[in-house]
Structure 1
Amino acid sequence: MDLQESFINSPDHHRIPLLSWAAETPSAVLVIAHGMAEHAARYQPLALWLNQQGVSVIAIQHRGHGPHCPETDLGHYADQKGWQKVVDDLQQVVVHARKQHPDLPLTLFGHSMGSFIAQAFTQQYGDEIDRLILCATNRIDKPKLRTSLALVRSIRALRGKRHHSRLIDKMTFGAFNKAFSPNRTSHDWLSRDTQQVDRYLRDPLCGFPCTAGLWSDFISGMLTINPRSWREDLPIHLLAGDRDPVGEMGRGFNRHVADLRGAGLLVASDSLFPGARHELVNETNVDEVWHHILDCLRTETDSGV
């Protein structure tokens, strides 16, 4: 159950960092794709608990994130084809996990930004996983995304791909926090657990601004997501807090669930946790959330009912 760090070399010579927590006698494996402006090590408490339940865990450090990212690259995927590169990085980690655990069911878990990377992965490489869990996700609101992309691209064209825009931060994280005013901190929207929020704020690898290039890649990538092109028999579990502004306080999340079902996909479960905010795995009802994730992993016959 000790943390192990390793690296995979990508075709463009990027070293993909991954963290692994191996159960003694695993019955399943979980691959985690983390969110924006955070890092994989934050999932260690969940991973260690899952190890005790017989689940081995592997978490990727996305480009532009984590302790091995050069300071000049923090918050930036790549100068060219950033979105496809983070999706392909995840595919290499899934292939690695399969080699490590060839006989075990493999589930991909994506949180927030990671949930959209996981959806793009599923669209391109869906045959390589057995189950998909989308946490703190939202619908693909194409009109809104196109409007945001036009603004982001204008900022990128004017200031450059690596520019950190205060306007973009205000429109995203700043807007999310307004729902919880009067605010104690700049990131009250993350969790009701004030200790977790304070821990996030103290972490130099969390809460950093992302570049106009990353935002352009991210929004463009989201716009390519088309559930009607996914494999229809892949069990999908979705979970979020009903006070998560990313999921439009549950409204966007519910719309996303309906869209997936409308595409003929196998939505095995969808769960909105009352009062919970964005970081479900770090919320005040963490025991309930962790057990729910375990239940998703242990479902032998997933049903779309």
Structure 2
Amino acid sequence: MQEHPLTLTSDDDHLIHGTLFEPDQPRAVLVISHGMAEHDGRYAGFARWLGEHDIATITFNHRGHGPASAKDDLGHYSDQQGWHKVTDDLYRVLGHARARFPGVPVLLLGHSMGSFIAQSCIQQHKKAADALILSATNRINKPQLLAYQLLIGGLLKVYGRRHRSPTLTNLSFGRFNKAFEPARTDSDWLSRDPAQVDAYLADPLCGFQCTTGLWQDFVRGILSINPGQWPKDLPVHLFAGTEDPVAEMGTGVTRHFRAIRDAGVKRVTLRLFEGGRHEMLNETNVDQVRDYILSLCQSHIQPEQPGPEHASQGKKAGARPSGVDTD
């Protein structure tokens, strides 16, 4: 297992920083698109574990996130075309994965904010990945998003794109924590594991306020997502905790699952983990979640060509029915 620093350059000369975790004989590669107000380093332990099972992983930081972001840029995509730029960055990382591991399945895992960036990227670049895994995502709630858009528009007129609004923070992260009051911390909604919550709070690259400009880009980006424009043969796997407020305690992500299925995507699955909160990879049942994601990766690995004596028994890798699975 080797770890390589990764640096790619975008069209506007932005440097995309990440890490490639490469086992000796990778059978698949997983690209991880992280969530809002966190960074790629939080996935290193998971990536190393996947490497033990012959799965390569690429983690990277979205614009406005990670140690390379200047202080003023932390929590800010760009002054112009922010959503286009973050989706294009992800497309470049996927392209690098494809070029680095030719003939190997490329899977895309998007968590929370990163799940919406992933969906937008796949919608624009239909062959960028061989499977899409969505962690802690939610339905496209147009009435709510349009209301947010009006509020954001007013704040932009008064304060500009780089303003950091406590109102927007309270409407998002603050609202998520209310379900767990009386709460030990402001971030109890992330995980049932107090050690993981404390590590998040102690990390200077986590939990920061994002700019009004980022919120405008983010809301507009979500509103542009339309599963009807996705490739119909793309396998899509959704998972979330039943106590994740972002996923509306399982109901919102279930509605999104149905919307994707009803849009004609042929293979869609949903896994709900009972009692889990927002960060299932940092939850008390993390081993179960890791095994689940590993099984998804393995299901997309093409088996070795069977010999003539076994040809009649061959099965297409990963063939399983669409449906909902709950723990």
**Which category of TM-score, normalised to the shorter sequence, fits these structures?**
over 0.9
Taking the aligned partners of 1:137 and 1:229, their CA distance within structure 2 comes to 18
4+ runs deviating over 3 angstroms: none
SS of equivalent residue, structure 1 residue 266: coil
Structure 1 position 126 matched with structure 2 position 126:
yes
Taking the aligned partners of 2:267 and 2:218, their CA distance within structure 1 comes to 24
* Partner residue in 1 for 2:22: 22
Taking the aligned partners of 2:44 and 2:321, their CA distance within structure 1 comes to 31
Spell out the pairing of 1:36-55 with structure 2 (5 A cutoff): 36-55=36-55
TM-score (norm 1): 0.98
Spell out the pairing of 1:78-227 with structure 2 (5 A cutoff): 78-227=78-227
Decide whether the 8 Å contact of 2:257 with 2:269 is kept in 1.
Answer: no
User: Percent identity among equivalent residues?
Assistant: 50
Taking the aligned partners of 1:213 and 1:161, their CA distance within structure 2 comes to 4
Decide whether the 8 Å contact of 2:32 with 2:58 is kept in 1.
Answer: yes
Q: Which runs of 5+ in 2 are unaligned?
A: 300-316, 323-327
TM-score (norm 2): 0.92
SS of equivalent residue, structure 1 residue 62: coil
Render the CA deviation track for 1:58-83: whole Å, top value 9, x for unaligned: 01210000000011100000000000
Q: How far did 1:91 drift?
A: 0.3
- Name the amino acid aligned to 1:239: F
Decide whether the 8 Å contact of 2:2 with 2:23 is kept in 1.
Answer: no
- Name the amino acid aligned to 2:171: M
Decide whether the 8 Å contact of 1:136 with 1:241 is kept in 2.
Answer: yes
Q: How far did 1:131 drift?
A: 0.6
The structure that has the greater radius of gyration is 2
SS of equivalent residue, structure 1 residue 41: helix
Q: How far did 1:87 drift?
A: 0.1
* Partner residue in 1 for 2:280: 280
Q: Which runs of 5+ in 1 are unaligned?
A: none
- Name the amino acid aligned to 1:166: P
Render the CA deviation track for 1:42-69: whole Å, top value 9, x for unaligned: 0011101100000000012100000000
* Partner residue in 2 for 1:297: 297
Render the CA deviation track for 1:92-113: whole Å, top value 9, x for unaligned: 0000111110110010000000
* Partner residue in 2 for 1:264: 264
Between the two proteins, the alignment pairs up a number of residues equal to 305
Structure 1 position 75 matched with structure 2 position 75:
yes
SS of equivalent residue, structure 2 residue 126: helix
Q: How far did 1:3 drift?
A: 3.0
Q: How far did 1:304 drift?
A: 4.3
